[in-house]
Structures are given as C-alpha cells and as structure tokens.
Amino acid sequence: MEGESSGLIIGLSIGVVIGVVLAVTAFFCFKYHRKNSQIGNSSSRRNATIPIRTNGVDSCATDSSLGTESPKSVMPTSMPLWIRGLKKANLVTATGILEYSYKDLQKATHNFTTLIGKGAYGLVYKAQMPSEETVAVKVLATDSKQGEKEFQTEVMLLGRLHHRNLVNLIGYCAEKNQHMLIYVYMSRGSLASHLYDELLQPLSWELRVQIALDVARGLEYLHDGAVPSVIHRDIKSSNILLDHSMRARVADFGLSREEMVSKKVSNIQGTFGYLDPEYISTRSFTKKSDVYSYGVLLFELVAARNPLQGLMEYVELAAMNTDGKVGWEELADPRLDGRVDVEELNEVAALAHKCVNPAAKKRPSMRDIVQELSKIHKSWRVRRQQKDSWTPRADSVIVNMEQLDRRSPTSQHQRVESLDSTADSIDV
C-alpha cells in the first residue's frame, strides 16, 4: 500500500509540474502574439492602410494611375501572417495608394532638381514617372516632427477621400529617413499665384465664381459626404490648386482631422488671417471653422487682397456702407477693370460676410453655400446664353448691307440708323 501511495504522489507531482510548465508556456506565447499584433498595428498606422469609403455626393474615383519601375503596395493589417510574407508588389491595397522607392523618385525628379514650390512643411518637385505621367512630389522636412505627423495624416485621410475637387494622393515614399507624398500634378499652380502674381493674367469674374464653387463642393464632400466627416482646418488661397482647365481642387490635408476625433487642441494651428476667431478663443474647431476660412477666401477672390495685408479690416470698412446685401462694389479687384456683374458681386460678397460671422452658429453650412453659389453660377450662364442669342451675326449684317445698296438713299439712311441703335442696346 505504501508503494502504491508513493507512486500516486509522485504521479500527481509530475502532473502538477507539467501543468505549471504548460501554463507558463501558454502565457508567454500569448504575450508574444500580442506584442507582434501591436507592432503590426503600429506599422499599419505608419503605412496608412485605411479602406476607402466612397460615400457622399459628387464623389468619384481617383482619375490618375501611375506605373513605376518598382511600386510597392501597402500591406493591409487584416491579412493573415502567411499572406504578409508574400512579395508586396503582388498585392494591391484597398486604398490604391502605392509605395515608391527613394531611387524611383530621385530619378523622376532628376536628383531633386525640379523644384516648383515650397510649402510650410517641405519642398515640392515636378516629376516625370516611367509611365510618362507628370506628378508633384512633396518632400517633407526631415527635422520637422510636425512634418512627419502631416505625412501620416495625409496618407490616412487621402487614402479614403476621393472627389473631383480634392487633390488626389497617388503614392508615397518612406525610405532613407525621408517622407514624400506624390500627388496629381496641377499644371496651373495655386489660386494665390493667379491673384497676386502680376505676370499672370488676372482671373475673370466668371472664373472666380467657378473656382469658389469648386472649392465649396470639395468642402461639402469633406463635411457631409465623407464618413466620418473631415474638417480641413487650413483653407487658404495657396492650398487651392488649379488644373489645366482652371478647375480648382483643395490640397494640403496635413492639419485635417476627422470630426470623431477630439475637437479640443492645446496649440492653435492654421494660417493667420484665415483662422476662425471662435477657434482661437475656445481652442475648439468645428465644421464652421472651415466655413469661416472659406468666407475669407471668398472675399479674397472678390478683392484680390491678401488676408495678411488687412483684407478683413478692408471688408469691415466696406460693410459699414452696406446693408449686408448691396454696396460691396468698392471691394472689387481693380484688375477686373469693371468687367464684373455688380449684382453677382454683391451676392457673393454678402454670402462671404455670412460665412465670417463672429458667431459660428450663424454661419451657413457648406451645403447651403454650394446651393447659393450654384444659383449664382447658373444665372450667369443663362444671361450669357441670352446675350449670345441676341448678338447680331456678322454675315447677316453683310447681307443686309447688300440689300441696302439697292434701296433709295432715304430708306438706306433709316436702315443704318436702326442698325446703330441695335448695336448700342447690345453693348449696354
């Protein structure tokens, strides 16, 4: 009996030891798996693998694709580990944003010698890709923590935001301690250059209204079409880019935030002159903060005066002589040389004045702004068509003149007089 008892005790002891060893092994395996999962998630945030959501009106897919020598796609974090072990080049991500090597972009920019601009967070180069497509490459400053944060924000947001009035992000590079963003090339440059560069032809009034409508549609998509909604936080004329046909797109999403994220900030960020006074006082940003900046942009289109050079003071002086709806003519850009519809100018300026109301709750939404500008733009087109339909054609005048030659001098004189009066009424 004693032998059996001893064997039983020894067996139980061995079983307990084995159980403890298995438990410890399972614990360490769990911690190891969890650590790898966190590393994978951290890596995915750096690579910005957020699925596209194509909600909202006027949304459209990206209109440019690039072929490169060695594009690499971003690894989705939801993929199993055995799939992640495959070659990256054989995988296409949901975002469609490709990763490029430093060598590719160095070659495309001729060793970064094709500088076309300089932003707050880095230099911008023109690049010719192997597909013969021209793109813009923004190289973020290596010594800027804000630049790296901007890089991550833009990749994450623009990976899922696609609209014809937003600049399309089509690639990125994170290599050799460099962070680069690759965009669709906007051949006409920024709106600011067309407003303030005296070497460029001044924008017509009709084109200014069209640009204002394009920007409003882009912001409406961010506010009401994207899920979750996005607040841009840095609307200004230098962040509005124009393509070959002078259609506008909103650019530079480095300060943008999803609305679901906390709206309270410790540091005020943005561009002085465009900042919402309520945001400055409360350090809380909302969609109406974008509306205020957009209102400043509208006045900038009307007056071609920089907000850093007293635009809003100029506006407030003009507002003292108006009833809020008419009397804004004195704001008109002198370079327009009177070629502006006064009624439309008053409507646009009155709308802009609503946007910059000190009380955010009294400002219109971007959807309301789009509807108002659409009416203004449509009415201009109707008037233009009516004017064109009443303009006498040159060949019809020639035929009439031939008929006049066969008439009496008296009847000829009367006919010429009626033609002159008709021309005068058309010019007016």
Helix/strand/coil (H/E/C) assignment for every residue in 342-386: HHHHHHHHHHHHHHCCCCHHHCCCHHHHHHHHHHHHHHHHHHHHH
pLDDT at 34: 57
Domains in the chain: how many in total?
3
Q: Is residue 109 part of a domain?
A: yes
Kindly report the CATH number assigned to the domain that includes residue 207: 1.10.510.10
Q: Is the dihedral of CA 162, 163, 169, 170 positive or negative?
A: positive
Instruction: Annotate 275-316 with DSSP letters as a single string.
Output: S-HHHHHH-B--HHHHHHHHHHHHHHHHH---GGGTHHHHHH
Q: Which residue has 């973020």 as its token pair?
A: 140
What residues make up the domain containing 103?
72-184
pLDDT at 412: 39
Q: Is residue 45 part of a domain?
A: no
DSSP 224: I
Q: Is residue 421 part of a domain?
A: yes
Q: Establish whether 126 is an annotated binding residue.
A: no
Q: Is residue 1 part of a domain?
A: no
What is the token pair recorded at 328? 């804004």
179 & 324 share domain: no
227 & 368 share domain: yes
pLDDT at 142: 72
422 & 330 share domain: no
pLDDT tens-digit profile of 38-77?
A: 434 433 433 333 332 333 333 333 333 333 334 444 433 3
pLDDT at 1: 56
The last residue of a domain, from among 139, 156, 184: 184
258 & 121 share domain: no
The last residue of a domain, from among 136, 153, 184: 184
Collect the ranges in the chain with pLDDT lower than 50.
37-94, 392-428
pLDDT at 393: 46
Kindly report the CATH number assigned to the domain that includes residue 79: 3.30.200.20
Q: Is residue 175 part of a domain?
A: yes
pLDDT at 32: 60
Catalytic residue numbers, as ranges: 234
228 & 259 share domain: yes
382 & 403 share domain: no
pLDDT tens-digit profile of 380-399?
A: 667 666 666 655 444 433 33
227 & 289 share domain: yes
Q: Is residue 2 part of a domain?
A: no
pLDDT at 290: 97
84 & 206 share domain: no
314 & 197 share domain: yes
316 & 173 share domain: no
Q: Is residue 11 part of a domain?
A: no
What residues have CB less than 8 Å from 127, skipping those under 6 apart? 105, 108, 109, 114, 134, 135, 136, 137, 182
237 & 297 share domain: yes
233 & 307 share domain: yes
Nearest-CA neighbor of 233 among 286, 312, 158?
286
Q: Is residue 234 part of a domain?
A: yes
pLDDT at 395: 43
